[in-house]
Amino acid sequence: MRAPFGARVTTAVSLRGPLCVGIDPHPSLLEAWGLPVDAAGLERFAMTCVEALAPEIAVVKPQSAFFEAFGSAGVAVLERVIAESRAAGALVLVDAKRGDIGSTMAAYARAYLGEGSPLAGDAVTLSPYLGFGSLEPALELAGRTGRGVFVLALTSNPEGAEVQRATAADGRSTAQVIVDQAAARNAGASPLGSVGLVIGATIGAAGVDLSKLRGTILAPGFGAQGGTVADLSRVFGDSLRHVLPSTSRDVLRHGPDVSALRSAALKVRDSLAVTH
C-alpha cells in the first residue's frame, strides 16, 4: 500500500518545492508552439511538458477537458501523461472536476482513484455542488488507495461567488461549509489529510476559516492570471505553508523548447520559496 496522499504531497513539496504546473493543451497554445490542433499535436505538446516538468516539479496537473476534446485518442494521451509523469517522480493531479451522485459518482471514483485504472493519478479535483456528501464514494476510495482529492471551495471565476459565498441556514457561507466538512475528513491526520481544497489565488481575502483544515490548498491563478506572492499571503494568511500555488500559461508559453519550459517552471518555483 502506498502512503496516504497527504503524506506524499508533503514529502514532494519538501523535496521539490511548492509548485503545481498545469499541463493545459489549449488549442491556442498548440498553435503558438507551431503544432497542429489534432491528436498528434496534442501528444507532442503533452509529452514535451512531461519531459520538461515531471523530473523537477512536485505536482503536475493535466486538465482533462483539453484531452477529452480529441476523443479516445486524446484520452489515450492523458493516460500516457499520467503514467510517464508518475514514473518521472511527479505527483499527478488530474483536473477533471467530477461531481455526481450514487453509482455515477462511484464510477467516476473508480476511473480517477481506483487501483489499476489508467486515468488514476495521485489525486483528482472534485465539485461538491450536489452536496459534499455526494462525494462519499470518491472520498472512501481515495482513502483506501492512498490517493487524494481537491474539492472546489472558492474559485476565481466571478460567477462562482453567487454559489460559494451564499449563506447556509446556519449562517456559514457555502464555502465555509465545504471547508469544515473537508476538515472533518482530515481530523487526526499527520502530517496532513488527503482531502484538499481549491481556493483561487486571485479571490482577495478568502473570508473562510482554514485553521482546522489539515489539508493541502491548491491555489490556481498564480502567474499569468494575475496572482502574486503577495496575493497568496493576503488570501491564505497563517495557512500559507499548506498552499500549493498552480500556474500553467505562465510556464507553458515558453515551449516548445524543453530547457526553456523547465527553466521557466523552476524560476516560478524559486520565487515561491518564501511562502514555505
Please give the single-letter amino acid code of residue 91: L
* Overall domain count for the chain: 1
The per-residue pLDDT for 276 is 64
Q: Is residue 249 part of a domain?
A: yes
pLDDT tens, residue by residue, 5-15:
999 999 999 99
Q: Cα dist. 194→12, 103, 123 in Å?
A: 14, 22, 9
pLDDT tens, residue by residue, 26-45:
999 999 999 999 999 999 99
Residue pair 221/156 in contact by the 8 Å Cβ criterion:
yes
The pLDDT mean for the chain works out to 94
Active site residues: 97
Q: Is residue 240 part of a domain?
A: yes
Q: Is residue 276 part of a domain?
A: no
Q: What is the pTM of this model?
A: 0.96
Q: Is residue 116 part of a domain?
A: yes
The per-residue pLDDT for 90 is 98
Is the pLDDT at 105 greater than 80? The verdict is yes
Instruction: Tell me what percent of the chain is helix, strand and coil, each rounded to the nearest 5.
Output: 50, 15, 35
DSSP letter for 263, please.
Answer: H
pLDDT tens, residue by residue, 193-205:
999 999 998 777 6
Is the pLDDT at 226 greater than 70? The verdict is no
Residue range 83-105: mean pLDDT, rounded: 98
Q: Which residue has the higher pLDDT, 227 or 167?
A: 167
What residues make up the domain containing 191? 5-271
| CATH number of the domain to which 35 belongs | 3.20.20.70
Is the pLDDT at 206 greater than 90? The verdict is no
pLDDT tens, residue by residue, 67-86:
999 999 999 999 999 999 99
pLDDT tens, residue by residue, 152-196:
999 988 899 899 999 999 999 999 999 999 999 999 999 999 999
Q: Is residue 223 part of a domain?
A: yes
Residue listed under C-alpha cell 506524499: 8
Q: Is residue 97 part of a domain?
A: yes
